[in-house]
Every structure is written in structure tokens, then in C-alpha cells.
Homo-oligomer: A and B are copies of this chain.
């Protein structure tokens, strides 16, 4: 986790304070459940809630951990210092550390997912707004980086909206994947604790019971969670790449917002570099690098080993904090992107009329020319535009073989931009549903 690529709300989920607070809630709710079952006295369960508004002394917990080399025991010892050793003596009864640790990790991931989903909603809103704003702003569509046929900037925004909307659904699924808790004991048999405790505690925490755990919650869930984050990150890279291309000097169809005080370069004052989207490209790699370790974490030995833990201490915070930051940054980039419609038109006309060659090809075929011949007719005129800077329409009008098949009016009609944008409303209706 790099401070400059972090936002406080997400960082807070991974703080020691938050972690110990969730531990506490699990222990306290578990005591309540045990008391309801008659396993422990009601007064002892009630006493645990004395710590409800007490701030835990993290330095003290650390101190105990240095001695015991066990984090949950350290916390329980500190909790007993607050609640009273005697009153606290039923806390954690029948539970194992992993019951607390694994359930807590999932609570954190669920909260992280909630933030990511909200981030995504903001991004979707920005994309939708910009899509409608530029619904009819014509620009050239490109395949292989080469001009193809006209499209609109609105369609560009709309396709990223659709992609991010799919990512939203993936985040919702990912959240469900990890919204489970387990309080099932040392190897998951509930030997020392009734399944009711798990049901009670998970419900209080907004989770569902893990149907079958061992000592740990199975890690295929977390693999699926981080894989979803990796897909989202890859889509961020996709949109960032589009913007980087639009901003390059020769294209200049859009620019990231450039604040007044900002210096683009220490040496070249005219440069406005797409540094935010380049940064997002790198951040996408950082989120994505969590995917394979999360998958390697699935195969634990027998009922559990702890090889996954150090991995999760890293990727839990890092992947969620980085993705949160990236989504927020991307939203800002989209929101404030400076779009240059004039440059879009100028670029489209760089090779005069050539982008209409597909239409001409089609028209020739429809006029009865064989596909092979039509291809050759178009190609020979297109090459003059490409190599000599000729105007494609003029060449066609002057080509006897073409004119044998198409009238002047028919040729003129092929260069009408409206032809390319006639289904934009249809596509928008598909994407935005309205």
C-alpha cells in the first residue's frame, strides 16, 4: 500500500483499530450466543459489552503479543484487562483463533467491496453523463490503430459504461463470495461449540455461515474475490489506454484536465502529459498481481496451514486500497476529460474520404460488381489517396469503371456521416436501458 495511492476510508478498514473492533464484536456476540444456549452465564456475556465504547490500547496489545507470540491471545488478555479477568473468563470459549481471524478478514473484504461498488457507481455516473454529452460527437473509429469507419465519442464512453457495469456485477458477486463467517472450532467439527453460535454471530455481522469450514474458511472464495478485482483492474487499464491514445500529440482528441498550478515537466513547459492514465495503467498491474498468489493460496494442507496468511496481509489491503484509489482517480479523469471535437473531425479527414471505402465497396457489390472486382476498384482509388493525397470521392467520380456501376448521386451519398450514426440511439437504449 503506497500512501500516495490510498484513500482514507479504505485504509481505515485495514487499520489495527478496525481489526480489533471486529474481533471484539465477534467475541462479544459469541458470548451472547453462548449465554442464550446456557453454556456461559448471562452476566459474563453482558460484562463483555463494557468494552463497547472503550478504545483498545494497541501498543499494549502489541506488547503482550511480543511476549506470547500469539495475536489473539494478546487481544483477549487486553480485553480481560478492560472487562475484568474474572468476568472475561468465558470469552472465546470453545473457539479457535481462526474463527475470529477468518471471519474478521471476510468482514473487511465485504466492507471493502461495498466501497468499491460505490466507487463503481460514481464512475458509471460519470461515464453515462459524458456518453450523452458526446452522443453525436463524431470521431473516427480505429482498428489496429488505423482509421476504419466513423463512430462517436458517445459510443466510446458508452462501451466503457457497459464494461464497467459488468464489472459492477462482478464486484457484487465477489462480495457474496466472501460474505461468510465461521465459528466452527479447531477443525470445523463444532466439537466445542454449537453451530448456533456461528449462526448468531454471522447474522449480527451481516454474513452467512460458511456451510462447511475446516479451521479456515475455504480460500477458493478469496481467489474468486481477487480474480474479480483483477478483471476490474484490467478494464481500468483498457479505459486508461484509450485516453492515453487520445492525448498523444498527433491525435489530441482529448486531454486529462490540467490544473492551473501544475507543472507538466521540469524542462518542457508545453507538455501536458497523460500522467493520470499512465499511472492507472501501472495501478492496474498492481491490483492484478494479487490474482495468482490468491489462487496459490487455495491449496492448504489438510484442514489448514498458515501459508495464505502473509499473502493476505499484503494483498487484502493493497489490492483493495489500490483499486479504490484507481477507480476514484479514473472517475475524476472521465469527469473532467477535455474533449476536442474539432480535432476529431480533422483527424478523420486526414486521408480524404478514405474511411468511406467500406461503403463504396458494398455499394459496388450491391450494384452487381463481383466482390473481387469491387475490391480491386476500391483499392486502386484508395491507393491514390494514401500515396498521393488525392480526394477519394473525386477519384471515384473520375473512375470510369466505378461510374459504370454507380451514379454521381450514389457516390455522393456514400460520404454522408449520418449513415454511420443512425443506430447510435439503438445502442444507447441497449446500454442505458432508457
Of chain B, the residue at the smallest CB distance from A353 is B270
Cα distance A234–B318 when bound, in Å?
Answer: 22
A405 at interface by CB-CB < 8 Å: no
- Please state if B221 and A166 are interface contacts (CB–CB under 8 Å): yes
Within 8 Å by CB of A144, from B145, B271, B296, B383, lies B271
The B-contacting residues of A in range 91-146, CB under 8 angstroms, are: 92-94, 96-97, 140-146
Q: Does B296 lie within 8 Å of A261, measured CB to CB? A: no
Contact of A151 among B303, B307, B366, B430 (CB under 8 A): B303
Chain B CB within 10 Å, residue with most, of A190, A263, A430: A263
Which residues on the B side are within 8 Å of A296 (C-beta)? 234, 285, 296
Which listed segment binds B: A23-31, A46-54, A211-219, A396-404? A211-219
Q: How would you classify the secondary structure of chain A's contact residues: helix, strand, loop or mixed?
A: helix
Q: A141-B186, A144-B305 are in contact. Are A69 and B262 (CB under 8 A)?
A: yes
Q: By the criterion CB–CB under 8 Å, are A227 and B313 in contact?
A: no
In the complex, chain B residues whose CB is within 8 Å of the CB of A143: 186-187, 214-215, 265, 271, 273, 302-305
Question: In the bound complex, do residue A189 and residue B247 qualify as a contact, i.e. CB atoms below 8 Å apart?
Answer: no
Once the chains bind, are A141 and B282 in contact (CB under 8 Å)?
no
A304–B242 Cα gap in the complex (Å)? Answer: 11
Q: Pick from B211, B273, B298: contact of A146, CB below 8 A.
A: B273
Please list 28 pairs of residues, one from A and one from B, whose beta carbons are closer than 8 Å in the complex, sorted by A's number: A68-B262, A90-B365, A97-B267, A141-B214, A141-B215, A142-B302, A144-B306, A145-B273, A145-B301, A146-B249, A148-B303, A149-B191, A150-B187, A159-B212, A189-B423, A189-B424, A192-B362, A234-B296, A242-B302, A267-B362, A269-B379, A270-B357, A278-B309, A284-B299, A285-B293, A288-B293, A289-B290, A314-B318
- In Å, the complex CA distance between A270 and B389 comes to 13
Q: Does A19 contact B (CB under 8 A)?
A: no
A149-B187, A273-B306 given; 6 more Cβ-contact pairs under 8 Å: A2-B313, A70-B262, A146-B271, A191-B359, A268-B358, A291-B295
A72 touches B (CB below 8 Å):
yes
Near B by CB (< 8 A), chain A positions 347-400 give 347, 350-351, 354-355, 357-359, 361-362, 365-366, 370-371, 375, 378-379, 382-383, 385-386
Residue of B nearest to A360 (CB): B269
Q: Is the CB of A150 within 8 A of B189?
A: yes
A58 CB within 8 Å of chain B? no
| CB of A21 closer than 8 Å to a CB of B | no
Query: For chain A residues 254-276, which have a beta carbon within 8 Å of chain B?
Result: 259, 261-263, 265-275
CB distance from A38 to the nearest CB of B (A): 13
- Please tell me the number of chain A residues within 8 Å of chain B, measured between CB atoms: 160
Measured CB to CB, the closest approach of chain B to A276, in angstroms, equals 10
Let me know if B145 and A249 touch, CB within 8 A.
yes
Decide yes or no whether A78 CB sits under 8 A from chain B. no
Given contacts A244-B301, A267-B361, A273-B144, contact A279 B423 (CB under 8 A): no
Residues of B within 8 A of A248 (CB): 142, 145-146, 250
* A42 at the binding interface (Cβ < 8 Å): no
